[in-house]
Structure 1
Amino acid sequence: MCHKLLIFALVCLICCEFSDESLQGPTKSKRDEEEKSDDSDETSPLRVVPAPDLSKDRDRRKGDTNVNDEISDAVDLFMLDQAKVIQKMVQEIGLKNFMLEEPEELPLEDLPPPPELPAHEPTPEEIEAKTIYDTATAILNKTRPDKKHAYQLLAEAAKKGNPEAKALVAWAKLFGNPLEQDLETAKEIFRSLAEGGHPEGHTGLGFLYASGLSVNVSQAKALVHYTFGAIGGNTWAQMVLGYKYWSGITVAPSCEKALDFYRQVADKVSQGVSFGGGAAIQRIRLLDELENGYSSGILDNDLIEYYQLLAEKGDIQAQVGLGQLHYQGGRGVDLDYQKAMHYFTQAANAGNAIAMAYLGKIYLDGSDEVKADNDTAFKYFKKASDLNNPVGLSGLGLMYLYGRGVEKDYTKAYKYFLAAADQGWVDGQLQLGNMYFSGLGVRKDYKLANKYFSLASQSGHVLAYYNLGQMHAQGTGMLRSCPTAVELFKNVAERGRWGEILMQAHSDYTEGRFNEAFVQYALLAELGYEVAQSNAAFLLDRNEVPMFTIQESLARALLYWGRAAAQGYSAAQVKLGDYHYYGLGTPVDYETAASHYRLASEQQHNAQAMFNLGYMHEQGLGMAKDVHLAKRCYDLAAETSTDAKVPVALALFKLNLMFSLDSLKESHLSSLLDFNEMFGSNWDLYLITTLTAILAAIVYFRRPQAPAVIHIFL
């Protein structure tokens, strides 16, 4: 009997070993529960991840495992589905039994050649769609693209099935520029692309799930889609993951992973930088623009017309200024090399060295509007360098360094770069760093390379940031520093061509297209742009995004203010304090409000935060009541900003008054001095308002009076 039992156990073991269920998923009941939970997720209310406080990241993440569990579950389900697909393919090919058997070791020469996959022959319609797509992208890559015509072609190519055209149409539908905004259509296009494994589709769906546009928020699904988009080489997905791993948003922070993703993006950006540096990107914070009376860097049309009038009358400075505006673009002026050449030529003919040098740069770079001409570039650079202009000197150095129209000569290149760098010109500093780093005509010297790259980075040159990032990432000539390298590569990544979306979003905002502006700011916020994060929060804070309710807007604004504050924007830190103080999108919490005010005060020297801390010390809100600390905070606010002097004077007057009244409370008049009972808890605000009105009246009546006009009647 024992032998029978032993044989039966052995047979069961063999059956289990060679079972067809080589890949097993959850049981039927468990799958049903997961499907139900997945369905319920589709209809779950909006969930907004709390704004990260990087100063308390370590403590917060120890207890925050819900998001990680959700991500793990989503990834497990996704990988299980992929495993089932692979198993089915293996079974169809008939290789399953072969995989289960122990393979024989064969010599390399006896191995059969790998099977050749049949090449996909494109259909005539696919060839036509690709041709239309190439024509459209050629139009978009021009200096002054005709976007309307380009997207008409893209829509035609998308109908014929071209996936790249579909992706561009989907983003245009999502942004509402240049096509009409349609979030549902964009979502469906992204979904169809993702099902086909297209990285743009995964990136688009990742953004929708992360921001909760047309779908319920699911950071787990967003992370999965972003990951597959990044694996497919999508630049935006790589930026998103770099920022997430750097700041620890929905993932455990990892400097090395952030460095890997940001370096990939920085490599692409650096390869697209021309000698001229490319178009300028204007970063406008809507909150600062509002507080400064809308005095942003955007030039008024009347001012531009005035400079144009001066230029036509022969004003050389106006000609050079307009030429630089059109050469670099930005500040409300379109990039236009033809107009730049027009103004530079006028100034160069009058003997202006700067205009000569910039004409040399235009001809050296070339464009779709101006054909590259090394001889003409050399002529203008030579004229400018003879007048000791640093731009011209650097231009000649570039031509000798790369052999553009002249024979390569590292000695002459070094001489011209050094002369330009001595005058503080950024291109001369950058190229000297390159020569010392690579040992071109000089002995390799990483310390000198670091010196000149650092000088060039102070002027904001993108390649200087990139080169410094590489040195810090590899520890070349210095101690390796992953955090510094990430910061530098992040700076480079944010100078990519997609930064133009910032200007388009601002243009949409000024035209009252708030939904379109918000979606564009929201995408750039996902990419890690602090300006976009604060601008998205600004729109939500003012309830200017029609697609959201007031409460939903406040909850989302709190999230974006938190991300902007974590990147060092002091006004966002103050806004976080305000939200917790007044209970906007979160319960009232005076202690948390005080902590945000303290951060903005101590780390960023924000006068508003100091004033608010003074008031909370005075009232004992979220901290011990202390009149002396209140006065100290008020004094610091007045010292930090001249705009705070009048409010501080009124607050100190009230503080001194209250201090005097407190000393009388022990007398028999104490019952008459209980202002909270007589006037309510906000009586102090009424008092400050009254004092402000009295002060304004005094200033008004003491203003200088106009002399009386004496009428003489004859």
Structure 2
Amino acid sequence: MTDATPESLYRQAEALLEQNPDSPEAFALLQRAARQGHAESAFLVGAIMLEHQNPDHPAIISWLEIAASQGHPYATYNILRLREMDGVSFDRHLAVYTNLAENGMTAAQLNLLEYYYDRNDPQAVYWAQKTAAQGHPFGQYILASHFQFSGEPDLERARNLYHEAAEKGLGVAHWQLGQIYRYGIGTPVDLTCAAQHLTPAAEQGIIAAQVMLADVLAKQGNPEALQWYRAAADNDDDGAKAELAQHYLTGRLTERDPLAAAKLAKEAAEYGHPEALRLMGDLYRYGLGLKADAATAQEYYRHAAENGSLAACQKLLSDAALHDPQHYALLKETALQRQNIENAYQTALALQEGRGRSIDYDRARKLFLEAAEFQHIGAATRLGLMYRYGQGVKISPRQAAYWFELAAAQGNATAQYHLARQYYYGQGVPYNLTLACFWLQAAIINGYENPETFKHLLAKWQHERANPQLEKPFERPVPQPAPPQPGERRAIKTAAPKTNGNTAKPKAAKPIQRLDSYKMRDSISASPSQVVYYKTY
């Protein structure tokens, strides 16, 4: 009898595995074949060991190396992934990933796409095109983001690609489409289409989509809005709490309940939400759910006005006309100034995104600068985004970091998220993992997009911080912050919170301003690292 060949051992094992995927006999046969140099057997040994409760990475790598040495691409790929799990930086493997990706491996293409996209590197577009051409929703989504937010936008192509990704069930693609139809970005406003796309996004747990869906339904007089406000409020979204409080106070979509209104408004007001503060003023002014107290009501109105509530400004102005005529003129001037600032901001927003009009980055930037001059947090955030994406200006991580830091220190979750990314990658600011964790945690607490998704990223960063022996991301040399560009006026800089190495729950120096719920995404819920599995046949 002749000895069994590696191929025959592999075939025997394959037959046994079809009958019993956990067959010990099959595993032994694969090991025998692998020791004789059979590449596919060695790969399967490693793949099976990966599924053990506590996989032995060095042992698995030794089996995979047998297959990789014979040109097995997925063995090579999995070796890279295992080494990264053990602390080796992705940067060390770029050349190997690129080779695998250029030879058509979708998994490697997706990893490169995520790598470059997270760093706002133009190479992300190349890999987005590669993966989108294969119909992968992540590639379609990133390519759509490029066409929407780049310096040379193409809103129609962006919308079409979002639709392709949404048809495959990608929640964040539905989220973007919901915003596009809600605000009429490159297409007429269509609240029905907006609701159709916001619903699956909301069902997938995107809190911002839950709030926007509730807003759309409420505008249509649909009581289902309340369930989505409650869903977002249960996840500590202050805007949702303020809207629910308003409905309980007015009884528009539900029975009036001043006590419930007071409870929700107080919770959101504690974090400085402008309209929640204004509602607290109403509740104290009229004694609804709370004991009437005119002085406390005035204090809440002042706080709300300082943080962006135009309705509170009008209430203060009306009261001054009746009870404080000597200060009426000053209050009127202040109210008009705030209204002009907000009008400038909203016009800039429409020009930046193409809401019902053509995009005009230059004019948008000038209006954002005017608003930022008066400490408008949203305007500072938007300027950061313009410099990050190169919208009408040259891409400048330093300029982006400057504006993000201004807004982040005053509680803007979008700015906090982007600033965290810049500290993590050392872009525009020196690499600082402590500050990266601090600002990401602040963004999560302040409700950036879908906080649950980013908790996983925070856990990863905190693990790296607790294990300094792990390799950090490639750090680029960073010069000192750039001075203002010619003709550019800058807002007064507010110092960022000091962390002293502590990443405990941060408190916003100023409250969150949710004047603009439409946000540009720099990460999505289903990243390649969540889509690709190590066991790849």
- TM-score normalised by the shorter chain: which range applies? 0.3 to 0.5
The alignment's TM-score, normalised by the length of structure 1, stands at 0.26
Q: Which has the higher contact order (CA 8 A, sep 6+)?
A: 2
The alignment's TM-score, normalised by the length of structure 2, stands at 0.34
Q: Which has the larger radius of gyration?
A: 1
